[in-house]
């Protein structure tokens, strides 16, 4: 088994510079021995200064080996220097001089090895940094490929909103060359308000509350769904990455469905209006005429018909009157003329009074704000919601009282229907389309949504129900 250190040492043995260092150590030792021999023959002492200078000369080749080869070069060079210096120390010196030379040589070698260790650590750190940089470049290249080939627009910007990176899809979405996007403020692309919203979403980890509408330079409005996250930038700083998924086609389909649903509701209302008019002008008038004729017959029958026939005639007349009342109520439910003639508030008040008259449920109606006529769509929407809510109170709530409040609040109209009935689980009711109450609530929900309204249903078993609908009127 060959260890990693052995492989490094073997590579050093094939390096000419390594052998040049060893030759330099040998040259220093040879010069030292020659000088000592000459001075000894002359009977002179070189002195301790010479010894310091001479052994310091070993420092240069050992340090050179340390800097170039690390510990794998410094340790063999130090051992080589010690082996060459031992004969001079042991033979040519005695006593304190021998000890001082030994300490000095070992000090030089220790310093060189310490330097070699430091060099090794720096070399290792440099190699790790180079490896990390290479890995980062590979990762960045892969990321760049994914980034540029992504089908959705991706923008990377800093905390100040300055765009640092953008992919090809971003340029296509905003009709700008990608290089021209770098350095721009995000607000120039999506608007200042949207830019602040995106930064806030990423910083506070808030969920996206809706799609954003953009108007690129060609003037065609686009809808995008933003997905933001905080990532690490190239310099290690935190940046925000925003992915814009183009949902324009989806929004257009949703808008088409809404318009289709509105047309269906309009067609239903027109059909209700037509049926109500036909009932009022046709069947109801015929029944009224029939009642008048039966009245005339009752007058004649007082003297000419037996009592049994008179009673039968009276019962027939009452049945005709009851049918006429039912047709009147049906006609009003289909399309109350009071809504068209007097407006929303009188029509809702009539609903509450009619409920109390028919069922005995105490009803209270109140208005706040400046009472005014609203658009036909808004008035009809709120009237139908009030009608359905009161129908649910009558059929399902088992309530003894109901309160209806209509508030005119400038930019919106708010309708609130509250009862003291048995209540229900609102979430479960909305998720069960087979239940009659659920169908009514879903109808309320759909009507409010078509007019961009806000619906809140608060209910719990045994705690009654409160339905609040706010519809913009501007």
Tell me the pTM: 0.53
Give the burial class of 407: count Cβ atoms within 10 A of its Cβ; 0-12 exposed, 13-18 middle, 19 or more buried: middle
Dist CA 255 CA 252 (whole Å): 5
3-class DSSP assignment, residue 391: helix
Q: Which two tokens stand for residue 110?
A: 């220790």
Name beta bridge partners: 123: none
CATH of 151-246, one of 3.40.50.300, 3.90.1170.30, 3.30.450.20, 3.40.50.720: 3.30.450.20
Q: Parse the chain into domains and list their residue ranges.
A: 4-140, 151-246, 251-335, 337-474
153-157 vs 454-459, strand pairing mode: unpaired
* Of 447, 457, 384, the residue nearest 416 (C-alpha): 457
Cβ distance 353 to 306 under 8 Å? Answer: no
Contacts of 461 (CB under 8 A, 6+ apart): 422, 423, 424, 425
Question: Does the CA dihedral 424-428-434-438 come out positive or negative?
Answer: positive
**What pLDDT score does 468 carry?**
95
* DSSP line for 174-206: HTS-HHHHTT-BTHHHH-HHHHHHHHHHHHHTP
227-266 tens-digit pLDDT: 777 777 666 677 888 888 888 888 888 888 888 887 887 7
Give the residue ranges of the chain where pLDDT is below 70.
1-14, 32-33, 35-56, 58-59, 70-71, 87-98, 100-101, 104-105, 108, 140-146, 201-210, 215-219, 233-236, 428-438
Please state the φ and ψ torsions of residue 324, each to the nearest 5 degrees: -60, -40
* Max CA separation in the chain (angstroms): 179
**What pLDDT score does 437 carry?**
56
Cβ distance 88 to 33 under 8 Å? Answer: yes
* Of 181, 193, 191, 188, the residue nearest 156 (C-alpha): 181
**What pLDDT score does 98 carry?**
66
Dist CA 363 CA 404 (whole Å): 8
Contacts of 185 (CB under 8 A, 6+ apart): 160, 161, 162, 163, 195
Instruction: Please name the CATH architecture into which domain 337-474 falls.
Output: 2-Layer Sandwich (3.30)
Q: Which two tokens stand for residue 13?
A: 């043995």
Cβ distance 320 to 290 under 8 Å? Answer: yes
**What pLDDT score does 1 carry?**
40
């Amino acid at each position: 088994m060959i260890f990693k250190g052995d492989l490094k040492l073997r590579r050093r043995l094939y390096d000419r510079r390594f052998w040049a260092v060893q030759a330099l150590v040998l040259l220093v030792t040879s010069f030292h021995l020659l000088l000592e021999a000459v001075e000894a023959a002359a009977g002179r002492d070189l002195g301790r200064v010479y010894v310091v200078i001479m052994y310091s000369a070993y420092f240069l080749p050992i340090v050179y080996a340390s800097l170039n080869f690390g510990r794998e070069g410094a340790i063999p060079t130090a051992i080589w220097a010690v082996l060459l210096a031992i004969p001079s120390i042991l033979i040519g010196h005695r006593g304190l001089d021998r000890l001082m030379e030994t300490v000095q040589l070992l000090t030089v070698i220790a310093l060189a090895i310490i330097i070699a260790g430091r060099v090794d650590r720096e070399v290792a750190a440099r190699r790790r940094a180079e490896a990390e940089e290479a890995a980062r470049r590979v990762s960045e290249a892969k990321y760049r490929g994914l980034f540029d080939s992504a089908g959705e627009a991706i923008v990377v910007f800093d905390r100040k909103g300055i765009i640092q990176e953008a992919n090809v899809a971003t340029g296509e979405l905003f009709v700008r060359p990608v290089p021209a996007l770098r350095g721009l403020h995000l607000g120039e692309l999506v608007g200042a308000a949207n830019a602040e919203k995106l930064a806030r979403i990423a910083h506070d980890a808030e969920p996206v509350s809706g799609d954003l509408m953009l108007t690129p330079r060609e003037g065609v409005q686009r809808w995008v769904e933003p997905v933001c996250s905080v990532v690490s930038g190239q310099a290690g700083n935190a940046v925000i990455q925003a992915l814009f998924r183009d949902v324009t086609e989806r929004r257009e389909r949703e808008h088409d469905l809404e318009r289709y649903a509105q047309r269906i509701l309009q067609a239903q209302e027109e059909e209700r209006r037509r049926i109500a008019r036909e009932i009022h002008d046709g069947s109801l008038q015929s029944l009224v005429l029939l009642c008048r004729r039966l009245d005339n017959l009752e007058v004649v029958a007082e003297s000419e018909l037996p009592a049994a026939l008179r009673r039968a005639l009276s019962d027939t007349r009452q049945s005709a009157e009851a049918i006429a009342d039912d047709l009147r109520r049906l006609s009003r439910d289909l399309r109350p003329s009071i809504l068209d003639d007097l407006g929303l508030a009188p029509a809702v008040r009539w609903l509450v009074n009619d409920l109390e008259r028919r069922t005995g449920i105490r009803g209270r109606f109140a208005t706040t704000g400046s009472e005014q006529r609203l658009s036909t769509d808004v008035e009809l929407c709120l009237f139908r919601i009030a009608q359905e809510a009161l129908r649910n109170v009558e059929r399902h709530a088992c309530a003894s009282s109901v309160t209806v409040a209509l508030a005119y609040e400038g930019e919106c109209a708010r309708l609130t229907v509250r009862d003291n009935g048995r209540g229900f689980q609102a979430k479960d009711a909305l998720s069960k389309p087979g239940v009659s109450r659920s169908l009514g609530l879903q109808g309320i929900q759909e009507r409010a949504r078509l007019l961009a309204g806000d619906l809140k249903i608060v209910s719990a078993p045994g705690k009654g129900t409160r339905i609040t609908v706010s519809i913009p009127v501007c």
